[in-house]
Structure 1
Amino acid sequence: MVICHILLLYSYTSSPFPLSYPIIAPYWADVDTRGTGSVYYRETSSASIISTVASHVSNAFPSQSPFYATSVVIATWYRVGYYNRHTDKVEVSNGFGGTPAQVGFNAGDNTNYYAVPGSETSSIVNIETTSNVGVAGMWVFK
């Protein structure tokens, strides 16, 4: 899944940052749900979820001004396969069968971008055990 409002992306394979267009890549890999699995996502304005997220961001960046969210996007990759309809490694998250996943964000200006350590390598499979805020699997950016 990739969030990009500037252009339509036709490639399921990730590209290394920096890029010439803005993109949020919570998990950019060759996921293929034609054989098995689903990708679920939703935007919510639930007060309790927004409060939890705002607390995580504020705790991660205590010297910054307060963070106020109006909505949160939640995404789940459930028992997904990889391209081309492969189902033998479901719930394995490193882009087997293609380029390993890219995780991070890119402002599109060739200056402001961040790739989670391990992006585009086989070690991205460990993303659920790593963090930049001391909570396994949580990466926070403001």
Structure 2
Amino acid sequence: NGHLTFDAPWSSFTPQRFPIHGSRDIIAPFWTDLDNRQNGQISYNQYTSGSVLRQATQDINQYFPGLNFNADWVFVATWYQVAYFSASGAVTQAVLISGGQYSFVMTNYGEIAFTQQSVQAGYDTVQSTHHFSIPGSFSQNATGEFSNFRLSSNVHVPGRWAFRTDRGSRGPLYPTSGTVSSAVDDGSSPQITLLRPFFYFGRTYNSIYVSHYCPSCADLWRPTFISADELRYNSLNNTEHSGKTYCS
């Protein structure tokens, strides 16, 4: 939920800290438990001409000077006001940009409602040969009014992070229009054929999946909450609660 994968769909709604040292490439603008059945929509679009390519060309040449870059393809995935599981949500984007031998990933952040859920943002590759965790991941500063994702940047544009991946509009958001991923899709969009190959740290991909809520996964795990009184009672009686989440 809130991530992109290339070889196959992946509906994991529990974020893992980067580096994972796993077997998949992943781009995670906002990996947490999201539920687009509650609110918001998830959309994606590809561009091979027009104003979005001009914007991408301008942005990349500003952030990575000296490349004389010219974008010929842009893929934009938007999670627009998508709810956290049983709560309000956030506005996030992943933007993939290619031109010639160069490829880039941008993550954009709009309003991000507060949640106590963990969030991982950044990217990770097979066996974590390349990885980056955006500051604020797995912290209390990930969401809310003072979200570090929304207020910080590595390219001097608050709410935007940009990375070159081929080797080792107004505000930060690109246009949010495009094919809407159905809320009834089980954990992921259908396979999306990319209009241009995307180079991701030594590998080339021709398709992508946009993740979201997974109904068939939802019943596999649910936290069990125990009151503070019960916790104190069980502690006094040495009662173990393996696999349960405690809260007051």
* 1:134 aligns to 2:150 (yes or no): no
Counterpart position of 1:12? 13
* 1:98 aligns to 2:117 (yes or no): yes
When the two chains are superposed, the root-mean-square deviation of aligned CA atoms in Å is: 2.2
Counterpart position of 1:61? 64
Does the residue aligned with 1:114 lie in a helix, a strand or coil?
Answer: strand
| Percent of aligned pairs with the same amino acid | 29
Gaps of 5+ in 2: 91-110, 165-248
Counterpart position of 2:233? none
* Greater relative contact order structure (CA < 8 Å, 6+ sep): 1
Residue 152 of structure 2 aligns to which amino acid in structure 1?
T
| Distance in 1 between residues matched to 2:112 and 2:34, nearest whole Å | 9
Could you say which structure has the higher strand fraction? Answer: 2
Does the residue aligned with 2:27 lie in a helix, a strand or coil?
Answer: strand
Runs of at least 4 residues off by over 4 Å: none
| Distance in 2 between residues matched to 1:118 and 1:77, nearest whole Å | 19
* 1:76 aligns to 2:98 (yes or no): no
Residue 41 of structure 2 aligns to which amino acid in structure 1?
S
Gaps of 5+ in 1: none
Structure (1 or 2) with the larger CA radius of gyration = 2
Counterpart position of 1:119? 137
| Distance in 1 between residues matched to 2:140 and 2:113, nearest whole Å | 6
| Distance in 1 between residues matched to 2:158 and 2:120, nearest whole Å | 18
| Distance in 2 between residues matched to 1:112 and 1:49, nearest whole Å | 28
Counterpart position of 1:2? 3
Instruction: State the TM-score, normalizing by the size of structure 1.
Output: 0.81
Range that drifts further, 128-137 or 8-17: 8-17
Does the residue aligned with 1:75 lie in a helix, a strand or coil?
Answer: strand
The within-5 A match list for 1:39-58 is: 39-58=42-61
Instruction: State the TM-score, normalizing by the size of structure 2.
Output: 0.49
